[in-house]
Amino acid sequence: MKILLFFLVTLLATCHGNVQNHEHESNFNIFPLRMKTGPGGKYIPEVSCASWRVAVEARNIINWKTVPQECEEYVGNYMLGDQYRADSKFVNREGFFYARTLNLKDGRDLWVFDIDETTLSNLPYYATHGFGVNPYNETLFNAWVDEGAAPALPETQKLYNKLVNLGVKIAFLTGRPLKQKDITAKNLKEAGYHTYEKLILKDTELYHGKTAVQYKSSERKKLEEEGWRIIGNSGDQWSDILGTNTGERTFKLPDPLYYIA
C-alpha cells in the first residue's frame, strides 16, 4: 500500500506540473517511472512476455507461428504454475455464472466445447517440446494424441460437470481429424467426460483448404439446423468462437502455446 501511495503522489505531482504547463507541452508524462522495456531499456521477460500473452488472449496478435524464443521460460512457468490454472478457473467460473441464470427446459440447450487445451490438456507434450517455441510437428503431435493420454483440464471439467447437472447438453467440436475419433472418445471418457450428445471431428476431405473458423462455423450451423440452441461455446482459440452460429456467449480459455487461424 505504501508503494502504491508513493506512485500516486509521484503521479499526481507530475500531472499537476503538466496541467500548469500544458499550453507549452504537447506530450504529458503520465508514466513517471522509467520503462524497463523497449529500445534503450533492459529487456524484462516478465513484463514483455506478459504483454505478449495478454495481446494473444485479447486477439491483438494474430496468425503467429511460434512462441517468441525469449518467452519460452516465461510460458513454461505460466503453464506449470498457479496463473494458468487461476486464469482457466476464472473463465470457466464465468461460464457457470452465466449458465445458472438461464431458464432451461426442453433439453435442446447445447454447450459446445473444443477439445485440445479446452477440455483436454496437451501440456505433457508441450512441456517436452519447447512450450510452443518449436514449430508445430504434425508427426510428433499426432503420436502423442494417439496415446490417448491427455489429462482433463480440471477447471473446464468442473464447468462440464456443473453443466451436465444443470441439464445442459454437451457437444465436442474439434479440429482433430476423423481418423482420431476412437482414441479421442476413449481419452475423453478416461479423463472423465462421460456424457455428451456429439463428438464432431474434422472431415479433412470435406474441409480441405478451409480454415478452422469456416469448419467450426459450418458444423455449428448444422447443429442449429438440427434444433440445438448453442447457449455457450468454449475454446482456447479465437477460431473456436468467431465466425457464424457462435452461440449466445463465448468463452476464451487461455492458450499461449499455439495459434490456429
Handedness of CA 212, 218, 220, 223 (dihedral sign): negative
Q: Per rule CB under 8 A, is residue 100 in the interface with a second copy?
A: no
Residues of span 155-184 touching a second copy by CB under 8 A: 157
Q: Per rule CB under 8 A, is residue 235 in the interface with a second copy?
A: no
Round to whole Å and give the CA distance between 199 and 115.
Answer: 10
Q: Per rule CB under 8 A, is residue 22 in the interface with a second copy?
A: yes
Q: Per rule CB under 8 A, is residue 113 in the interface with a second copy?
A: no
Q: Per rule CB under 8 A, is residue 248 in the interface with a second copy?
A: no
Residues of span 192-231 touching a second copy by CB under 8 A: 192
CA neighbor of 197 nearest in space, from 105, 117, 119, 111: 111
SS (HEC) of the chain: CHHHHHHHHHHHHHHHHHHHHCCCCCCCCCCCCCCCCCCCCCCCHHHHHHHHHHHHHCCCCCCCCCCCHHHHHHHHHHHHCHHHHHHHHHHHHHHHHHHCCCCCCCCCEEEEECCECCCECCHHHHHCCHHHCCCCCHHHHHHHHHHCCCCECHHHHHHHHHHHHHCCEEEEEEEEEHHHHHHHHHHHHHHCCCCCCEEEEECCCCCCCCCHHHHHHHHHHHHHHCCCEEEEEEECCHHHHCCCCCCCEEEECCCCCCCCC
Least Cβ distance, residue 153 to a second copy (angstroms): 7
Q: Per rule CB under 8 A, is residue 11 in the interface with a second copy?
A: yes
Q: Per rule CB under 8 A, is residue 104 in the interface with a second copy?
A: no
Round to whole Å and give the CA distance between 19 and 248.
Answer: 46
Contact call for residues 251 and 91 (beta carbons, < 8 A)? yes
Q: Which of 52, 111, 144, 172 binds a second copy (CB under 8 A)?
A: 52
Q: Per rule CB under 8 A, is residue 51 in the interface with a second copy?
A: yes
Closer residue to a second copy (CB): 18 or 66? 18
Least Cβ distance, residue 255 to a second copy (angstroms): 11
Least Cβ distance, residue 213 to a second copy (angstroms): 15
Residues of span 122-151 touching a second copy by CB under 8 A: 123-124, 127-128, 147, 149, 151
Q: Which stretch binds a second copy (CB under 8 A): 42-50, 99-107, 168-176, 213-221?
A: 42-50
Q: Which stretch binds a second copy (CB under 8 A): 103-111, 162-170, 189-197, 218-226?
A: 189-197
Q: Which of 115, 153, 212, 231 binds a second copy (CB under 8 A)?
A: 153
Residues that bind a second copy (CB under 8 A): 1, 3-4, 7-8, 11-12, 15, 18-19, 22-23, 25-31, 33, 35-38, 44, 47-48, 50-52, 54-55, 57-61, 73, 76-77, 80-83, 85-87, 89-91, 94, 121, 123-124, 127-128, 147, 149, 151-154, 157, 190-192, 250-252, 254
